[in-house]
């Protein structure tokens, strides 16, 4: 049952929702390592957790492929057919840090429609699997103008929630670049049940929503999927759009996350005793294959910025976050605002205020991260 499955997670996971289960690691443990242990990787579910028998498992490939086929797990793991791929990949939910937008949204008199993620809806793992491109090739390639691949995940029904199957799509161009992996191993273990056992998709540099868990079907199609999760959720609206004038067609489908970062230590309202330097820790990430190039912190609300020394940043990687630490100079006593921002390798940076990032779905909270602490110097 779901309770046994949940025992695989760390006892300190913060449960955002029990049904469907959604949880994130506590701040203290989120960036303790560059690779997130499986027990601490955030979990985002739209429905229940299906328990799939690996021996009965079949992946179906159909739609606009030359030779539609079915594969068992053994077929996919056959190294003579599909070369094994191993990659360290950061997965970020587009709802990461939503809690900051919720604090603006409250007071407008409407219910909050989404899970209140803090800074932990992001995690990094070493995945083993194969490139989806090779499987498409094995089916003779695409035909008749196919340009997208629709990905189907099994979903069990949760009481009172009509979730149906979880279906999204990714463009063929992304697959062709070998940036979509079908993974069965996570950090040296078989994929945990809660993370999609026995097989999931991991799309490098895209929001977590495209990385379908409990994968059972891939269909080649001409246009992006019209399934609800692709066409009606994960949309980025302009600020004039709200509950009463929302049309999915006006939203941008969120694929790559912009550059963002977060301070994981200290945390708001802490009193910090220090000798002129406050030790801070956190993460920085940029979607789409860009990486954090510089991370900067301010102890005065964003006037003066100190760059994290390169040796205090974890190693650069095209698909991975960088964790960091800094001794941030601070000579004032009293309430201060610590701010963090990142510049990626294209010199994109973060908006300075969360108000600028507000949008109806409360997605993509990529503004500079601000916390208030009491400094005792």
| Closer by beta carbon to ligand MTE, 210 or else 341 | 210
- 93 makes contact with Mo ion (CB under 5 A): yes
With CB under 6 A as the contact rule, which of the stretches 9-17, 135-143, 207-215, 336-344 interacts with ligand MTE? 207-215
| CA 293/CA 42 separation, integer angstroms | 25
Binding flag, residue 253, ligand MTE (CB under 6 A): no
Residues 191-230 touching Mo ion, rule: CB under 5 A, are: 208-209
Pick from 149, 170, 212, 328 the residue near ligand MTE by CB under 6 A.
212
Helical (H) or strand (E) element with 309 = none
Contact call for residue 45 and ligand MTE (CB under 6 A): yes
Complex with Mo ion: residue 122 or 149, whichever CB lies closer: 122
Residue 214 and residue 263 in contact, taking contact as beta carbons nearer than 8 Å = no
Determine phi and psi for 101, rounding to 5 degrees.
Answer: -75, -30
44 touching ligand MTE, by CB under 6 A = yes
Smallest distance, ligand MTE to C-beta of residue 67, A = 26
**Element housing 108 (H / E):** none
Q: Does 198 bind ligand MTE (CB under 6 A)?
A: no
| C-alpha dist (Å) from residue 97 to 59, 66, 142 | 34, 43, 38
- The residue (of 88 and 92) whose beta carbon lies closer to Mo ion is 92
Query: Could you say which of 209, 280, 313, 342 contacts ligand MTE (CB under 6 A)?
Result: 209
Q: Which stretch binds ligand MTE (CB under 6 A): 38-46, 81-89, 112-120, 258-266?
A: 38-46
User: What's the min distance (Å) between Cβ of 111 and Mo ion?
Assistant: 20
211 touching ligand MTE, by CB under 6 A: yes
With residues binned 3-state (H G I as helix, E B as strand, rest as coil), the percentages for the chain, rounded to 5, are: 15, 35, 50
- Say whether residue 336 binds ligand MTE (CB under 6 A): no
CA-CA-CA-CA torsion sign (207, 83, 88, 258): negative
- Residue reference for tokens 């053994």: 74
Torsions phi, psi for 156 (to 5 deg): -90, 155
CB-based contacts of 248-255 (< 8 A; 24+ apart in sequence): 251/361, 253/224, 254/94, 254/207, 254/209, 254/363, 254/364, 255/206, 255/207, 255/210, 255/287, 255/288
* Cβ pair 371, 252 in contact under 8 A: no
Among 100, 119, 138, 155, binds ligand MTE (CB under 6 A): 155
Query: Of 18-77, which residues contact Mo ion (CB under 5 A)?
Result: 44
Residues in contact with ligand MTE by CB under 6 A are: 41-46, 91, 93, 153, 155, 166, 195, 208-209, 211-214
Residues in contact with Mo ion by CB under 5 A are: 44, 93, 208-209
């Amino acid at each position: 049952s779901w309770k046994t499955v949940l025992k695989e997670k760390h006892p300190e996971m913060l449960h955002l929702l029990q049904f469907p289960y959604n949880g994130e690691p506590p701040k203290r443990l989120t960036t303790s390592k560059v690779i997130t242990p499986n027990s601490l990787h955030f979990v985002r579910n739209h429905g229940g957790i299906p328990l799939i028998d690996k021996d009965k498992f079949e992946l179906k490939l159909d739609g606009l492929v030359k030779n539609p086929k079915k594969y068992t797990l053994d077929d996919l793991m056959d190294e003579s057919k599909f070369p094994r791929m191993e990659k360290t990949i950061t997965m970020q939910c587009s709802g990461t840090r939503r809690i900051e937008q919720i604090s603006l949204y409250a007071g407008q008199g409407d219910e909050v429609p989404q899970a209140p993620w803090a800074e932990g809806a992001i995690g990094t793992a070493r995945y083993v699997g194969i490139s989806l491109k090779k499987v498409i090739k094995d089916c003779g390639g695409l035909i008749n103008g196919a340009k997208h691949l629709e990905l189907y995940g099994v979903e069990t029904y949760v009481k009172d929630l009509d979730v149906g199957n979880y279906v999204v799509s990714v463009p063929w161009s992304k697959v062709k670049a070998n940036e979509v992996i079908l993974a069965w191993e996570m950090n040296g273990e078989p994929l945990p049940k809660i993370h999609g056992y026995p097989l999931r998709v991991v799309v490098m540099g895209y929001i977590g929503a495209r990385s379908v868990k409990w994968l059972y079907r891939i269909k080649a199609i001409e246009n992006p999927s019209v399934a609800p999760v692709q066409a009606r959720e994960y949309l980025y609206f302009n600020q004039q759009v709200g509950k009463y004038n929302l049309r999915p067609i006006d939203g941008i489908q969120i694929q790559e996350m912009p550059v963002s970062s977060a301070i994981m230590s200290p945390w708001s309202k802490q009193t910090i005793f220090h000798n002129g330097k406050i030790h801070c820790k956190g993460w920085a990430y940029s979607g789409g294959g860009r990486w954090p190039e510089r991370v900067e912190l301010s102890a005065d609300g964003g006037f003066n910025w100190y760059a994290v020394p390169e040796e205090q940043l974890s190693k650069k990687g095209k698909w991975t976050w960088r964790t960091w630490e800094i001794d941030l100079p601070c000579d004032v006593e009293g309430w201060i605002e610590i701010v963090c921002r990142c510049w990626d390798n294209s010199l994109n940076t973060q908006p300075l205020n969360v108000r600028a990032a507000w949008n109806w779905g409360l997605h993509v909270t990529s503004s500079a991260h601000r916390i208030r602490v009491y400094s005792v110097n």
